[in-house]
Every structure is written in C-alpha cells, then in structure tokens.
C-alpha cells in the first residue's frame, strides 16, 4: 500500500516533495522521486512484502519505470510463468513481477492480475505512459489533463493547487454523500474508473482511456445449492489465503456481522499462525457489537483485541476525516472506520475485512425494500398517483415527500436509482444526467434484486465503501484487504440464482450456511447493528453548537444549487426532534469543513441570495424576450438566485441560454400556463417576479393578489396609447388593465416617450415608473461577409405586422432611380402574404429576399449597407440598436417611442418624418455614403453599455427588496 505520483509538468524537486509530503501517511517508510526525461515519478512506500530497500520505487527495469500502489495477490503464479519464459528476478515482491509482466505481455498483463492496484509505467523507449486501476476500484487513481500536461496521484490534495470548484460535483455530493467517478470536486481533475486503463502518447500528446473489465450480462449457472455452497467456500478459502501474504504482522477486523465473522473464521483455519482479530465497541449499547464479536473470537480461537471507544474519541476523528479524504465525503461511518484503524495499527499493519459481502450476496436492507416495491408497482399507476395526492399521507407521518415520490415512480429502475441518490433532495434543481454513466446495470439482468446489486457494486462500492476503507486505513498507514472483493467471487456470485443469496427474512443465505460450519447459527443469527454512530443524537446535544456555527447563512448561501430555505427547515426540525435529517445535515456539515480546509466559499460578507423569477413568453426571436433572457443570464449571481420561466415550448427555442436555470411551462397560451406559474411561485417563494410584454404583466398584477411578500415588476414593450379601445367591452378591459398594472410594484419603461405614454394611461405621475433603455447584448463573433452584389443592400428585421411599416418602406424603395439595390426582410407575421403581394405589385421581386427568424440576425445585418425601420410607433426598437452595434447605419421614421433615443441624425443614420423625406435620402448617394461605420458603433456603445444597464436593473431590484 502506497502513494503514487507522476507528471510532465516542470515542477522542481522541492515542489514534488511538498506534494508527496501532504499525503505522507500513505507511505511513511520511504519517499522516492525520480526524473526520467521530462517525466517525474514519485512514490511513498508502506513496506508490506520484501521490506528491503531493493524494492523501493520508482522501480526501473530495461527502459521501463513504475510507481505502483496496492498488492498483486497472485504475483507468485505470474512470477513462476515469467521464469519459465526466461526472466530472472532480484526482489521477492510483486512490483518487479508486474513490471516484467508488462514487458512480456504489454497492456494484456492486467487480465492476469488478481489484486488491488493503481500504477503508472513509463516506457522510455516508446515514450508512452501506461496506467491501470483494479477491477473494483479498491485503490484510488486521480489525474488531470490539460493541453498535453498531466498529473497523476493516489489522492487529490497534491494535484489540487489553483483548481476551480466543480459545482456539478457539489450537487452530486449533496445527493449521494460522495462524488462518483469520473468526477471530482475540482474542475479538470478526474478519477480513472475501475477496470480501466489510461495511456498517454507523449509524441502526439494524446490521451486514451479504455475498459478492460466490467460486469457482464448474467449467465445463470445451473448448479445445485449444495454445489454452489461448496464452490463458493473453496473460492473464499483461496481468496483469503492469497491475502495472508505479508512480511509484517497481520490480523482481521471482526464486528458482529456475518461477513467479517466468515472472513476471520476461514482465516483462522487457513493461516499457519494464530489469527489476531480486532474490534471496537461503543458506550451506547444500541450501536455496540463488541460482545458479539468477542463471542465469535472465542469460538474461532483468535487472539482478540477489543477497544471500547468513547463518544469523545469518535468526535476527535472529524478533523482527521476532513484532512485525509481530500474531497467531501458524507458517510459518517468513516469516523468509526478511522478509529478502528487507529487502534488496530498499534498491533498490526495488515488487516482482512468483510467489505464487499453485502453487495454480492444481497445483504443490505434495501434489498428488502426492492421486494416490497415489486409488489407496489403492480398497483396501477393512476391509483398510486392519486394516493400520493391524498391528504391522508400528511396525517400518517412527518416525512411524506419521499413516500410521495416513490408512489409516483413508474419503473423499478427509478426505484433502484433512488436507493442510491435518495427520494428527497436538498437541491434547488436536481439533474441526474451524471447517472447515465452507470446505466449499464439496467441491461445486465432482468432480476430487480440483481440489478440493485450491480448498481451497488458499480456506484456505491467504488465511490463510498472503497473510498472509506482506503482513506481510513491509509490515514494510519494500515493496509486493508477484502477477500469479498476478489473479482472471481464477484463474478461467481452474480451468476448464482438470486434465491441462493437472498430470501425475504434471510439475506446472505449462502454465506450464513457456510458460516454455520465455523460458528453456531444461534450465535451469529442476531440483529445486525451496522458500523454506525449516533450522529443524529450528537447533532442535538454534544455537537449542536459545532453544527450551528458551521452551518451559518454565511456558508449556506454560497453553496451552489443548495435549497437553503428547505435545508434550514430540515435542520431546525431535526434539532427539535421532529424528524431525523441527520444524513442531509451531516453531508452539508462535511462540505463546510472541507471548504474551510481547502479555502473555498469563505467570503465573510456573503449574504442570502434573493430569488428572482424572469418570465417570458418564448425563447424565439422577439426583442423583449431576448433582452429579458440576457438580463437573467448576466445579472450578478452573487446577489441573486435566478430562474428563467418560459411559458412556451422548449422545442421552439431559437437561441441557447447559459448560466441560468430555465423552466418551461410548455403551454401554447398564457391562460394555460397560469396554474403552473402559481405553483412555481408558491413552492419557491421568490423575492421578485419580473415579466415583460403586456399579457404577462397583467398576469403578474393578478398573481400579486395572492402573494403578498413577493414584489412583481412589469416591463412594458410598446406604447399603450397605440392600442385602441373602441367598444364598451374594450373600455371595461381598459379599467381592468389599469387595476392590474397598479398592482405591480414597479414598471420598467424602455424610453422617455413610453414613460409619458404610460403615465397618461394611468392618470398619474407614478414613482413606480422607471426608464431603463435596452442594453447592447452582443458584439462578439459578428462576421462581416462580402457580397458580389455591387448595389446598395437594405434590411429590415421585425414582426410582419401593420405597425412595423413594411409596406411604406417598399413604396419608398420602389422610387429609387439612380442605383440597383437589394432589400432583405427578416421576420414572419400576419402581413406576410400582403407584403409579398405588394412586392409583386411594385415589380420588386428581383430586389426583395425573405428570411425567417434566425439566431444569425447580427451577421446578416452586418452584410448590409443600411437598416431601414418603417415603424409607425416603437416602444424601444431593439433591432435598430443591434444594427448600430454592428456598425450598420440606419434609416428610421421619427416615430413615437424610443427611436430618437438611438438614432442621431447624420451620425449613425438619418431620421425622417415622411415617406417623401425617406425617398429623398434613398436617392442621395452622397448622403447615404457619408456615415462612417465606426461612428455608428461608438454612438451607442456607451449609452447602451450592458454593464451600466444591468447595474440599473440591479438597483431597482435592490430598492424593492429594501422596502
């Protein structure tokens, strides 16, 4: 057992020494560092076999160098085979055998290995790095790879400098209590999955990762139960025997469970010397198994050492957990595991353990849950769904959310996955896409118990159990060997009938029947207490102050994606003894301590983030929607927690949204979306709800009647006076609109004209009204495309509706006499057919092109000479502003609204009052060519700067929050 390191980054030897020193506990017996070419190999040795200095690493042999962590249990067999092939050896350990085996068989050596291992081999001749990790992921392997530079290590800390937090990994941790491979807590640092090789070609700077072993589809063996029991017994004897090889003292962990009892019993039989066994006990009898372990030891004749541990001794392990586990690890049984290794190290250096028995032989309680769910799922879904909605659930108990979720599950696979990620969550938004990496379990067997066992092996065993055991043992320079993790036993057990391993009320059936040969059944057939601690009770008593201090608002509101209000409610209910949420509280506490250890999320002035919902009709090409989504994406996320609510369909999107959660109502009409909006606001309790466009604003005014604590803001996008009210019905509608608009806490107008227009509509000079212009949303990646067309190119972008004035633009263009021209129309709408008829009537078919809405508008505009706006009125012509950002000058009618706030006559284009004036400008080549592109850009760059305008919005939000 050791620590390994490799890199091609040019660190000094002192820097590498410091890196290795940070995990010195993995190998205190010798530190080796060697630079070969541009590769640095480092090794920390815990001497187990061949204690002589000749076996120190890095180990070299004929152009090959290796750093290796672990044990190859069948190395003697491989060594014998290599000797017959002409190899000779200078050491008596497994490292030299592994390196010689690689020289002989190359990467195929891994198929011959039976052990726990992670190693790096540098081939100095081929200039290649070859690495491998054992089949079950017993030994850790971390690596970073960026632009041809790599670091490899047994733990994260040495390769964590200057790394950014992986926020997705934090969310996964808060669901699972661990971070599964290939993810780590840091960006651009990964775990090599179990049963995988990694190769680096130093010539081409290419990295490749590929699998050499995995669980295979079940091929159930047709053997009798008696034959299976006999064969498994023989396999266990061999797996234990080959794990007893050591040149240092060894023993066996012994708890009150079946697995460690069976391993210790067989070890006592096959070992030539008396076996030493070790257990720890606790003051609380509910968690103490030491008396049962002592009975086992007396029966099998082991030399037994029992240590009674106090609560204080367990609590003293918390700093050790944080320092040696390197990334957040939320399995609280790591504390007694650390303590067990600490007391055992005083007597031996190697210990056998029973880890892995529950996975292959179906020993966990959740296998009983699977049995119950298979009965539940036979009930028609509609009945289960109605039951989940029934009020009776709220009467039955305190924690009904997981029950409701289980009742709503449609497949057994969903239930199985819930066992490992939970049926409740403390995340604001749960994304289980990462779980697809482990989806293979679904296809390996049709039996739900075996599916559960397979996901147990691939997900939980590697990332929880193996991590727990490795770090807890290495923290005290102990080596732990688990016979149940022999891949032969894993493969054998999986192909046995499930009934051989599991029966309701008799889990691990076959192991129990083997154990009867060593220990009477009445002795071991006692309730298993598990290797657990009363962490939930400690949170309410001994550790209450510690938890309250570390789970402050200052920390909680910095945790990405944590649903802080929900978590705080759970925390308080737990402290009051109303519910047991200790698992959730412990994992957040561990994250807090880890952040303190590694220096993340430590801003002393961190404040709770205010939730803001931005509501838009669609993510199509509309200017108002585009502006609101831009604000949602770019607002200060250290102050505000943002969600973008889209009323329409996700399939209709024309552009992507980044750095903000998007929720789709998937409704065609706003009236259909109102129930979902109501539910979202009720469930999430946002501080601010911000909408745009008239019908959304009116809906927010309506919703404000029900949510007194939420501030509702409307953003008007047109001149309301231009919407006529000619009938009695319209007049009634107008009064309703006034009432609903007056319900809003603030109204954003995009121009001074719009504000005056709205004040007139409301018959008041309201302080609610604020003018904020639209920002420049994008000036990046605008491409200038050249055209073979030599004449003038004009363009208009906007909805094809009467107020946009396309027809009068066409009338004016038809009067151009002095040059050839092209006119592009981007958009769609009710006037599309009429516009095409007008084009035909004016004989402009060769001049006019039509393009539907696209996310490439700016690039298309940039390919034209002038943007023409014919609108009769505009709230704020965003297309006009975007045209200026590309340097394309504009021709616009001086219509009521925001046009004159953008167009500076003679600077970035021309304002005209009538069609006659526009015709005059169009026929004046000298005037058209007098506008310079740089002037066009600079005319808007400062006034409509996005950072300035975002600050104006943030100021409005903060003002409302302070009132």
Catalytic residue positions, numbered: 2
Q: Is the dihedral of CA 772, 774, 777, 782 positive or negative?
A: negative
Instruction: List, in sequence order, every beta strand (DSSP E) within 520-670.
Output: 610-616, 640-646, 661-664
Give the H/E segment covering residue 34: strand 30-36
Strand 142-146 versus strand 149-153 pairing type: antiparallel
Q: Three-state SS across 733-778?
A: HHHHHHHHHHHCCEEEECCHHHHHHHHHHHCCCCCCEEECCCCCCC
With b meaning 16 or more CB within 10 Å and e meaning fewer, what string describes 783-818?
Answer: eeeeeeeeebbbbbbbbbeebbbbbbbbbbbbebee
Assigned token pair, 272: 């030539």
Query: Phi/psi zone of residue 25: left (φ > 0), alpha (ψ -120 to 50 degrees), beta?
Result: alpha
Give Cβ neighbours of residue 531 (< 8 Å, ≥ 6 apart). Answer: 255, 333, 336, 337
Q: Is the dihedral of CA 805, 806, 811, 816 positive or negative?
A: positive
Q: Is the dihedral of CA 101, 102, 106, 110 positive or negative?
A: positive
Distance of CA 304 to the CA centre of its chain: 45
Q: Is the dihedral of CA 133, 134, 135, 140 positive or negative?
A: negative
Assigned token pair, 13: 């030897």
CA distances to 350, 614, 690, 693, 713 from 674, rounded to whole Å, are 65, 14, 15, 15, 17
Q: Helix (H) and strand (E) counts for the chain?
A: 42, 32
Assess contact for 586 and 535: CB atoms under 8 A: yes
CA distance 350 to 700: 67
Give Cβ neighbours of residue 401 (< 8 Å, ≥ 6 apart). Answer: 423, 424
If DSSP codes are grouped into helix, strand and coil, which group holds residue 368?
Answer: helix
DSSP one-letter string for 280-344: EEESSTTT--HHHHHHHHHHHT-EEEEEEE-HHHHHTTHHHHHHHH-S----TTHHHHHHHHHHH
Nearest to 379 by CA among 419, 405, 407: 407
CA distance 382 to 254: 49
Assigned token pair, 690: 């911000």
CA distance 143 to 85: 35
């Amino acid at each position: 057992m050791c620590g390994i390191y490799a890199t091609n980054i040019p660190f000094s030897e002192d820097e590498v020494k410091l890196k290795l020193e940070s995990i010195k506990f993995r190998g205190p017996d010798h530190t080796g560092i060697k630079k070969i070419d541009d590769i640095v190999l480092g090794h920390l040795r815990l001497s187990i076999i061949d204690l002589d200095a000749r076996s120190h690493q890095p180990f070299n042999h004929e152009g090959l160098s290796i750093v290796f962590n672990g044990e190859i249990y069948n190395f003697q067999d491989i060594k014998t085979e290599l000797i017959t092939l002409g190899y000779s050896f200078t050491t008596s350990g497994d490292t030299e055998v592994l390196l010689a085996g690689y020289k002989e068989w190359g990467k195929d050596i891994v198929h011959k290995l039976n052990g726990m291992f992670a190693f790096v081999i540098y081939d100095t001749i081929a200039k290649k790095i070859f690495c491998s990790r054992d089949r079950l992921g017993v030994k850790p392997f971390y690596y970073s790879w960026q632009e041809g530079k790599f670091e490899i290590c047994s733990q994260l800390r040495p390769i964590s400098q200057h790394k950014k937090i992986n926020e997705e990994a934090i969310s996964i941790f808060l669901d699972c209590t661990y971070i599964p491979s290939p993810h780590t807590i840091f960006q651009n640092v990964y775990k090599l999955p179990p049963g995988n090789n990694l190769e680096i070609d130093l010539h081409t700077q290419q990295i490749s990762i590929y699998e050499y072993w995995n669980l295979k589809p079940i091929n159930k063996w047709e053997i009798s139960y008696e034959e299976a029991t006999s064969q498994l017994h023989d396999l266990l004897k061999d797996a234990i025997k080959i794990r007893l090889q050591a040149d240092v003292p060894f023993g066996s962990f012994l708890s009150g469970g079946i697995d460690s009892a069976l391993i210790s019993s067989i070890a006592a039989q096959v070992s030539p010397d008396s076996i030493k066994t070790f257990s720890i006990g606790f003051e609380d009898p509910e968690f103490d198994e030491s008396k049962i372990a002592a009975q086992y030891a007396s029966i099998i004749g082991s030399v037994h050492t029992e240590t009674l541990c106090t609560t204080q001794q367990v609590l003293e392990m918390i700093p050790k957990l944080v320092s040696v586990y390197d990334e957040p690890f939320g399995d609280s049984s790591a504390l007694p595991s650390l303590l067990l290794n600490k007391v055992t190290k005083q007597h031996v250096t190697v210990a056998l353990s029973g880890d892995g028995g529950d996975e292959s032989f179906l020993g966990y309680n959740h296998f009983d849950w699977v049995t119950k769910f298979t009965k539940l799922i036979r009930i028609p879904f509609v009945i289960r769904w109605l039951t989940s909605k029934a009020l009776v659930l709220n009467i039955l108990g305190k924690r009904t959310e997981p029950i409701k979720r289980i009742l709503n599950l449609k497949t057994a696979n969903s239930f199985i996955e819930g066992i490992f990620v939970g049926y409740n969550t403390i995340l604001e938004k749960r994304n289980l896409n990462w779980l697809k990496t482990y989806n293979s379990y679904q296809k390996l067997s049709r039996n739900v118990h075996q599916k559960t066992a397979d996901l147990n092996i691939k997900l939980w065993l590697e990332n929880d159990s193996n991590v727990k055991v490795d770090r807890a043992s290495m923290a005290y320079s102990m080596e732990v060997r688990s016979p149940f993790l022999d891949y032969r036993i894993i493969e054998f057990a999986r192909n046995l009938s499930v009934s051989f391993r599991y029966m309701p009320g008799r889990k691990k059936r076959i192991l129990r029947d083997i154990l009867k040969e060593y220990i009477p059944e009445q002795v071991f057939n006692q309730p298993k207490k598990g290797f657990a601690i009363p962490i939930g009770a400690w949170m309410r008593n001994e550790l209450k102050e510690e938890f309250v201090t570390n789970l402050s608002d200052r920390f909680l509101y910095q945790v990405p994606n944590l649903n802080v209000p929900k978590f705080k409610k759970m925390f308080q209910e737990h402290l009051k003894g109303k519910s047991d949420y200790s698992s959730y509280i412990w994992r957040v506490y561990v994250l807090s301590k880890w952040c303190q250890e590694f220096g993340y999320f430590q801003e002393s002035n961190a404040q709770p983030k205010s939730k803001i919902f931005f509501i838009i009709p669609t993510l199509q090409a509309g200017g108002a929607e585009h502006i609101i989504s831009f604000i949602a994406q770019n607002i200060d996320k250290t102050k505000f927690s943002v969600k973008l609510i889209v009323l329409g369909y996700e399939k209709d999107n024309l552009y992507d949204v980044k750095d903000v959660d998007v929720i789709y109502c998937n409704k065609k009409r706003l009236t259909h979306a109102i129930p979902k909006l109501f539910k979202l606001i009720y469930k999430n309790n946002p501080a601010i709800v911000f909408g745009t466009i008239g019908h959304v604003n009116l809906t927010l005014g309506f919703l404000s009647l029900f949510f007194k604590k939420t501030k509702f803001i409307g953003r008007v996008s047109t001149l309301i006076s231009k919407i006529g009210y000619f009938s009695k019905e319209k007049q009634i509608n107008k009064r309703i609109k006034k009432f609903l608009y007056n319900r809003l806490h603030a109204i954003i107008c995009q121009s001074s004209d719009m504000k005056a227009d709205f004040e007139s509509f409301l018959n008041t000079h309201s302080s609610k009204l604020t003018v904020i212009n639209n920002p420049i949303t994008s000036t990046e990646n605008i491409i200038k495309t050249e055209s073979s067309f030599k004449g003038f190119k004009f363009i208009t972008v906007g909805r094809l509706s009467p107020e946009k004035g396309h027809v009068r633009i066409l009338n004016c263009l038809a009067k151009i006499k002095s040059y050839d021209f092209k006119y592009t129309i981007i958009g769609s709408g009710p006037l599309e057919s009429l516009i095409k008829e007008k084009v035909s009537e004016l004989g402009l078919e060769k001049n006019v092109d039509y393009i539907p809405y696209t996310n490439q508008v700016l690039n298309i505009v940039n390919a034209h000479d002038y943007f023409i706006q014919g609108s009769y009125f505009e709230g704020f012509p965003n297309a006009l502003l975007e045209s200026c950002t590309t340097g394309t000058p504009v021709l616009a009618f001086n219509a009521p609204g925001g046009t004159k706030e953008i167009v500076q006559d003679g600077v970035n284009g021309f304002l005209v009052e009538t069609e006659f004036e526009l015709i005059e400008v169009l026929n004046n080549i000298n005037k058209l060519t007098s506008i310079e592109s740089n002037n066009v850009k600079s005319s808007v760059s400062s006034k409509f700067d996005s950072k300035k305008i975002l600050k104006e919005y943030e100021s409005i939000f903060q003002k409302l929050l302070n009132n």
